[in-house]
């Protein structure tokens, strides 16, 4: 189900009503439902995916369906460092009703494709990481069946579980690789403690490129950048997804599967900045933020900062 954007999410401090240099995000965002979306020189379309079904099926901690509005509210208060030629639209939300996850993913895919076809850069706020399957569906629909598509996932987990019985927030990359030979997959931040040996074997079987979390300190970022660039160079287009459980739980406790050995936020910020700045990158999503188990809004605030970084650097 699709719902129009709400002004209730966009409020905050006002330093000036007339000086654009003093504006915060809530003063720059325009609310436009999908049918009204148009693109200027550079236009971003924020769309939420309010869904917990995938995490519930994957036996995780539910609550991420509340994240899109919470991230908007945190983003609204941040100073806006965008040029006058850049427009940010809130394009509303796709809701998952009950356990109808596949239908919701399809609806998200249609929304993402609509934005891309209008020349708008989608910024997708999840939702569990099942959000990404809808993100992928939209990108594939927009670029057509023959273009090579590179998927970059910043995540502690491969999410390559079997979907024979049921798809979930842990199956979507296997679903994609099984059914789309024009796709490749790169995962940055993999933790051995978060993946069985069988999942590492599956990653090898599917020729997944990955970097372990322990190899991604701030002093390693140039080497990591080179590996990511090598991957991007093989594809016509790239889409980026960030699962916030990749980040150290001291900074991101409000996730389905928190980890004390996650990535430092500065490393994640560097990667997001670098990947979205590549002309091949179509879109970005952030998933697995769970406000119901967050501590002092830490994870929501960090997610909003990373969304801000993505928008600034695209």
Q: What is the CATH number of the domain that holds 26?
A: 3.40.800.10
Q: 53-82, pLDDT tens digit by residue?
A: 999 999 999 999 999 999 999 999 999 999
**Integer Cα distance of 98 and 54 in angstroms:** 11
Mean pLDDT, rounded, for 198-220: 97
Helices (H), 77-165: 101-117, 131-143
Using DSSP's 3-state secondary structure scheme, residue 32 falls into: coil
Is the pLDDT confidence value at 41 over 90? Answer: no
Mean pLDDT, rounded, for 259-282: 97
Is the pLDDT confidence value at 136 over 90? Answer: yes
Q: What is the pLDDT of residue 40?
A: 83
Q: Which residues pair with 29 in a beta bridge?
A: 88
Domain of residue 158, residue span: 2-313
**Integer Cα distance of 255 and 105 in angstroms:** 21
Position 35 confidence tier, pLDDT thresholds 50, 70, 90: confident
Per-residue burial over 137-147, b if 16 or more Cβ lie within 10 Å, else e, is: bbbbbbbeeee
Q: What is the mean pLDDT of the chain?
A: 96
**Integer Cα distance of 221 and 267 in angstroms:** 7
Give the up-direction half-sphere exposure of residue 283: CA atoms within 13 A in the CB hemisphere: 33
Q: 139-152, pLDDT tens digit by residue?
A: 999 999 999 999 99
Q: Which residues contact 43 (CB under 8 A, 6 or more apart)?
A: 86, 87, 88, 89, 119, 120, 121
DSSP state of 98: T
Q: 166-175, pLDDT tens digit by residue?
A: 999 999 999 9
- Whole-model pTM above 0.85? yes
DSSP state of 44: E
DSSP state of 164: S
Q: What is the pLDDT of residue 109?
A: 98
Domain count along the chain: 1
Query: How far is Cα of residue 274 from the mean position of the Cα atoms in its chain?
Result: 15
């Amino acid at each position: 189900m699709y719902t129009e954007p709400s002004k209730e999410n966009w409020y905050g401090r006002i330093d000036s009503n007339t000086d654009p240099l003093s504006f915060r995000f809530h003063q720059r965002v325009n609310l436009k439902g999908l049918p009204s979306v148009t693109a200027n020189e550079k236009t971003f379309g924020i769309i939420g995916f309010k869904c917990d079904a995938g995490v519930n099926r994957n036996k995780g901690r539910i609550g991420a369906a509340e994240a899109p509005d919470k991230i908007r509210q945190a983003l609204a208060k941040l100073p806006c460092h965008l040029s006058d030629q850049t427009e940010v639209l809130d394009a509303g939300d796709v809701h998952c009703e009950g356990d109808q996850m596949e239908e919701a993913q399809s609806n998200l895919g249609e929304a993402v494709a609509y934005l891309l076809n209008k020349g708008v850069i989608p910024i997708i706020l999840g939702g569990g990481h099942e959000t990404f399957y809808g993100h992928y569906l939209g990108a594939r629909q927009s670029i057509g069946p023959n273009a090579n598509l590179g998927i970059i996932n910043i995540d502690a987990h491969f999410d390559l579980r079997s979907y024979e019985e049921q798809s979930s927030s842990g199956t979507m990359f296997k679903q994609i690789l099984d059914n789309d030979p024009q796709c490749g997959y790169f995962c940055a931040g993999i933790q051995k403690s978060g993946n069985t040996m069988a999942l590492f074997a599956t990653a090898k079987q599917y020729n997944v490129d990955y970097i372990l979390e322990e190899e991604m300190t701030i002093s390693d970022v140039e080497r990591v950048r080179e590996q990511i660039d090598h991957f991007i160079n093989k594809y016509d287009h790239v889409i980026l997804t960030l699962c916030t459980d990749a980040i150290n739980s001291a900074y991101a406790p409000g996730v389905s599967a928190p980890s004390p050995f996650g990535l430092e936020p500065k490393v994640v910020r560097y990667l997001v900045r670098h990947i979205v700045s590549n002309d091949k990158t179509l879109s970005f999503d952030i998933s697995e933020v769970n406000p119901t188990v967050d501590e002092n809004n830490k994870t929501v605030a960090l997610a909003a900062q990373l969304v801000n970084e993505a928008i600034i650097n695209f």
